[in-house]
Amino acid sequence: MPRTLLEDEHWTKLLPILRDLGIYSKPNLRRILEGILYRIRTGIPWRDLPEYFGKYHTVYTAYNRWSEKGIFTAILKQLSQESDLEWVAIDGSYIRAHQHCASALSAQEDRAIGMSRGGRTSKIHLAVDAAGNPIEVIVTAGNIHDVTVAPELLDNINLAETELVNADKGYDSDRLREQIEQSGAKANIPYKSNRKEKNKDMDWYLYKIRHLVENAFCRLKHFRAIASRYDKLKRNFHSTVLLGCIVMWLPVKTHNLLEWIFTKQFRL
Structure confidence by residue, pLDDT tens digits, 46-102:
999 999 999 999 999 999 999 999 999 999 999 999 899 999 999 999 999 988 776
Looking at every residue in the chain, the average pLDDT score rounds to 88
With bands split at pLDDT 50, 70 and 90, how would you rate the model's confidence at 35?
Answer: very high
User: What's the mean pLDDT in 120-125?
Assistant: 94
Least confident stretch, 103-112, 130-139, 161-170: 103-112
Residue 105 has pLDDT above 70, yes or no: no
DSSP 30: H
* 29-42 and 234-249 helices, crossing angle to 10°: 100
Residue ranges of the chain assigned to CATH 3.30.420: 84-231
- 32-36, 105-109, 263-267: which has the highest mean pLDDT? 32-36
Strand partners, 121: 96, 114
User: What's the mean pLDDT in 174-202?
Assistant: 89
DSSP 141: E
Residue 267 has pLDDT above 60, yes or no: no
Per the model's pLDDT, the better-predicted residue between 10 and 266 turns out to be 10
Q: What is the pLDDT of residue 134?
A: 96
Q: What is the pLDDT of residue 29?
A: 94
Q: What is the pLDDT of residue 103?
A: 63
Residue 268 has pLDDT above 90, yes or no: no
Residue 22's φ and ψ, nearest 5 degrees, are 85, 20
Q: Which amino acid is at 100?
A: H
Q: What number does CATH give the domain 84-231? A: 3.30.420
d(CA 123, CA 144): 8
* Residues 92, 260 contacting (CB under 8 angstroms): no
Strand partners, 166: 89, 188
Chain mean position to CA 168? 19
Least confident stretch, 52-61, 105-114, 226-235: 105-114
Residue 243 has pLDDT above 90, yes or no: yes
Per the model's pLDDT, the better-predicted residue between 100 and 16 turns out to be 16
